[in-house]
Amino acid sequence: MEENHETIDETEAILEEAEEELEEQEETEVQMDDTPWIFFDYSGTLVDTVDALSRTYIKFLSRDFPPDQVKSLYKDYPKMSKVALMRKYKFNPFKYLIGGKNKLEEIRKEEFWEGVRAFPGIPEVLMRLQKIVNAKLAIVTHETELLDPEERVKIFQRFGIPIQFNEVIADSSNKKENFDLLVQNKGIVYGIIIGDNQFDLDLGKKHNFYTIGVTWGFSTRDEFTADYIIDDPREILQVVMSLMHQIEQKKLHGDPI
């Protein structure tokens, strides 16, 4: 009889442990969000930064650094190490490491504040999207100053960005990791990512999001692998509306086999 009691006690203990594990799993399970998200790259997609960056590097390096070289540098940035970038673009590593990094950032902020503005058509598109599209809007960027809500308001007002975004994903070195974490933690199912660099679009491709490449920033048409490639900010609204319809069809009928 004692053995039976022990067996029953052990069984009850196992069942209780299993129930606790299930409860923990339910608590940690991410709630899926089927509201579409529209992710915008910032520099080169929403705001025109090429000339400001050119002036930044001219001042910092005390030599010519034209806009085409800026575009090349920023396309190489995700693929090359800092040492390789310094060699290719002839940066003096000692100048950069010994106080140079802070000096470069100081010049960049000054040039951005004076010379960066939203691309023509972007303010109107953003306001229209916010009014007529049932989606959440987010920015993905290396510009970490946008993480500060008060600073972000000042920058948006200065640069001509007319709305606030649901999320800002900003990291000076690894926005990919932060992007993946947001998608995972929010349980985002449907997304559209809009950017001027293939690296930006690849953030969304991993999650099967729709991709829109824009040619008014750092890249040309032949540098993109995207669902859509557009040449004018005003085209964003038309393409997004079409994709929103496709997303609604998926939600109603599921993905076609």
Write out the chain in H/E/C secondary structure.
Answer: CHHHHHHHHHHHHHHHHHHHHHHHHHHHCCCCECCCEEEEECECCCEECHHHHHHHHHHHHCCCCCHHHHHHHHHHCCCCCHHHHHHHCCCCHHHHHHHHHHHHHHHHHHHHHHHCEECCCHHHHHHHHHHHCCCEEEEEECCHHHHCHHHHHHHHHHHCCCCCCCEEEECCCCHHHHHHHHHHHHCECCEEEEECCHHHHHHHHCCCCEEEEECCCCCCHHHCCCCEEECCCCHHHHHHHHHHHHHHHHHHHCCCC
Q: Shortest CA distance to 100 belongs to which of 145, 61, 128, 149?
A: 61
Do residue 105 and residue 125 come from a single domain?
no
pLDDT value at residue 11: 64
- Of the ranges 20-24, 131-135, 192-196, the best mean pLDDT one: 192-196
The last residue of one of the domains, among 115, 138, 169, is 115
Do residue 132 and residue 105 come from a single domain?
no
Mean pLDDT for 241-257 is 83
- Dist. CA 58–CA 45, nearest whole Å: 23
User: Does the reported pTM lie above 0.75?
Assistant: yes
pLDDT value at residue 5: 53
In a domain, 224, yes or no: yes
Query: The domain containing residue 54 runs over which residues?
Result: 50-115
Task: Report residue 93 as tokens.
Answer: 């590593």
Do residue 187 and residue 215 come from a single domain?
yes
In a domain, 244, yes or no: yes
pLDDT tier at 224, thresholds 50, 70, 90: very high
Share of the chain above pLDDT 70, in %: 86
Is it the case that residue 4 has pLDDT exceeding 80? no
pLDDT value at residue 257: 47
The last residue of one of the domains, among 85, 115, 145, is 115
pLDDT value at residue 82: 83
pLDDT value at residue 115: 95
pLDDT value at residue 209: 97
Is it the case that residue 26 has pLDDT exceeding 60? no
Is it the case that residue 111 has pLDDT exceeding 70? yes
Mean pLDDT for 135-152 is 94
Is it the case that residue 203 has pLDDT exceeding 50? yes
Mean pLDDT for 230-236 is 97
Share of the chain above pLDDT 90, in %: 68
- CATH number of the domain within which 224 lies: 3.40.50.1000
Q: Which residues contact residue 66 at a Cβ distance below 8 angstroms, ignoring those fewer than 6 apart?
A: 54
Do residue 237 and residue 175 come from a single domain?
yes
